[in-house]
Structure 1
Amino acid sequence: METSSIPPFSHLLTDTVVNLPSSWQTQPYTWQPEETGLENLIRSNPALELFLNAGPCISWLWQVRSGKYSFMSTNAGTILGYASSSFIKGGVSFTRNLFHPDDTAPVAKLMRKIWVYLMAVPAHERESCQFSCDYRLRKADGSYVRLLEQSRVFQTDTQGNITHIFGVWTDISHWKKNEILTASIQSSENGNCLVCTSVDTQLQPQHTVSKREQEVIKLIAEGLNSQEIADRLGISFHTITTHRNNIREKTNCRKVSELIRYAIHNGMI
């Protein structure tokens, strides 16, 4: 699948999250002889597992072929109220049943856009893709929390089919109050970033924030002012002012709080 056009099997995608991987399940599939490196690394490294379980974000590793989670950090119990074993046993079907009723259809449409685009990406570029989407999930106590899902292709097989996706869920309930859902996909291979929303589901190019501008954004989020950022990066105050103006134009964020929300959503911090 080295063509940039959408493959003919894209019609197999339906507007339900549980069926998104079905398009991969009909494709030629070649397993690597060894397990994915992350699974082995987590199992053999107690410190890493402790770090993931105690972190502020829920971390997971999803097997696309089976629809099951290979790993779900135990802090899912703290943040959502469900034992990680519930996700591992129930897979993506368990997650789908937790969606807010008003978000189920929009999320399915947005993720369908992402997956159709992903399937059109040349096989050798898929591992460079990362994507995000926000939605509400029901906690065990019946309340809802807005999560930002940030994930990336973690492993492909010898044919370029995606086998594993690594992702995190971050609670952004305190950052985002409106109900418009946003999804994006970005390639570290070419820097392209496409965005769509539940209001406008067409993937649109987004102005790419340069690596230097991302460094500036991270330092802004840490609370540094322009002079402090200039000193930290070893460049002039005037250059930082130019970067900040460019960032403002590219992100359309006029306030620091808006910029931080933007950076979190797009995986910059």
Structure 2
Amino acid sequence: MISELDKLRNVWLLPHNKSVNNTELPQITFNDLTNSIISTGPFYYYVIDFYDMSLSHISPSIRDLHGFDPETVTFDDVLNAIHPDDQAFIAKAESTIADFFHKNIKREKLLKYKKCYNIRGRNASGGYTLFNHQALMLTLDSNGGYGKCLNIHTSIDHITSYNTYQYSLIGLNGEPSFMNINPDSTLQNTIKFSKREIDVLKCMAEGLNSTEIADKLFISDLTVKKHRKNILEKSECKNTAQLITNCVRQGLI
């Protein structure tokens, strides 16, 4: 019987997903990394190359959080640290995401999205920690196959111990974001935020009031209030505090 981890590996090895040739990694600077990372707690990152499943650019903090030697850790080590009860969700989520981009969106759009979900990973003490997983595709091959991807895992135990078993697709460079997607549902039933709503949401997370947001985004107070109302209604949150907490959990802000 095929294991859940093998199902997960198979998603990345499908002919329309896997890169058939090596891809050149763009120059990654510290600023690039910090701009990509939603740091709400201790975190580590690495770059996975789906061409040969090798790791590079591994942050030393992987030792503190998992007990792995950054010089010798492999992708299988990271996968095997996933809680057994979370493996089926991750395999289904990754399969759903890959299928969505393959069938509904131009392949190059993969470079304009960050995928996020929560997973439990075995920590350095032998117990399990809840991590927010963020993945940003850095390269594709000439056929649109997966190349190199930046993965960031942030400990969020201090925020929540509850795993929603949902994923989010965070749009970059003006792309819409899809929030709180159940792998068994369709994107038509998910929360979809526009670029302007994301801009307003990020300002709310900074603690700005409606007038300050209007000044920063060069829009009217009335427009800001309309966006705030729409954001709360779409997210089904009772107040701003609940909204911000949920968005941090999902890696949106």
**Shorter-chain TM-score tier:** 0.7 to 0.9
- The correspondence for 1:181, drawn from 152, 165, 171, is 165
- The correspondence for 2:25, drawn from 33, 36, 41, is 36
Q: Hey, what does 1:263 align to over in structure 2?
A: 247
Shift in alpha-carbon separation, 1:178–1:192, aligned structure 2, 3 A: closer
Deviation at 1:139, TM superposition (A): 0.2
CA distance in 1, matches of 2:191, 2:124: 39
Q: Hey, what does 1:20 align to over in structure 2?
A: 11
Shift in alpha-carbon separation, 1:84–1:51, aligned structure 2, 3 A: farther
Shift in alpha-carbon separation, 1:220–1:231, aligned structure 2, 3 A: same
Which aligned segments of 4 or more residues in structure 1 are displaced greater than 4 angstroms?
25-28, 47-52, 186-190
CA distance in 1, matches of 2:210, 2:33: 37
Equivalent pairs counted in the alignment come to 243
- The correspondence for 1:63, drawn from 39, 42, 49, is 49
CA distance in 2, matches of 1:27, 1:241: 45
Shift in alpha-carbon separation, 1:86–1:48, aligned structure 2, 3 A: farther
Does 1:151 pair with 2:135?
A: yes
SS at match of 2:109: helix
Q: Hey, what does 2:59 align to over in structure 1?
A: 73
Q: Hey, what does 2:228 align to over in structure 1?
A: 244
Higher mean displacement: 220-229 or 184-193: 184-193
Deviation at 1:202, TM superposition (A): 2.3
SS at match of 2:77: helix
CA distance in 1, matches of 2:169, 2:119: 16
Q: Hey, what does 2:93 align to over in structure 1?
A: 110
CA distance in 2, matches of 1:194, 1:263: 9
Shift in alpha-carbon separation, 1:50–1:179, aligned structure 2, 3 A: closer
Q: Which whole-Å deviations, capped at 9, do the CAs of 1:156-192 have from their partners, x for residues lacking one?
A: 1112211111221122223233233111335557536
- Partners of 1:17 and 1:96 within 8 A in 2: no
Shift in alpha-carbon separation, 1:163–1:233, aligned structure 2, 3 A: closer
Shift in alpha-carbon separation, 1:219–1:127, aligned structure 2, 3 A: closer
When Rg is computed on C-alpha atoms for both structures, the one with the higher figure is 1
Give percent identity, aligned residues only: 25
Over the aligned positions, Cα root-mean-square deviation in angstroms equals 3.2
CA distance in 2, matches of 1:26, 1:166: 16
- Partners of 2:118 and 2:132 within 8 A in 1: yes
SS at match of 2:204: helix
Which runs of 5 or more residues in structure 1 are unaligned?
1-12
SS at match of 1:156: coil
Matched letter for residue 89 of structure 2: P
Deviation at 1:106, TM superposition (A): 1.9
Deviation at 1:228, TM superposition (A): 3.3
Deviation at 1:86, TM superposition (A): 4.2
Shift in alpha-carbon separation, 1:236–1:203, aligned structure 2, 3 A: same
Does 1:196 pair with 2:185?
A: no
Deviation at 1:51, TM superposition (A): 6.7
SS at match of 1:84: coil
Matched letter for residue 44 of structure 2: I
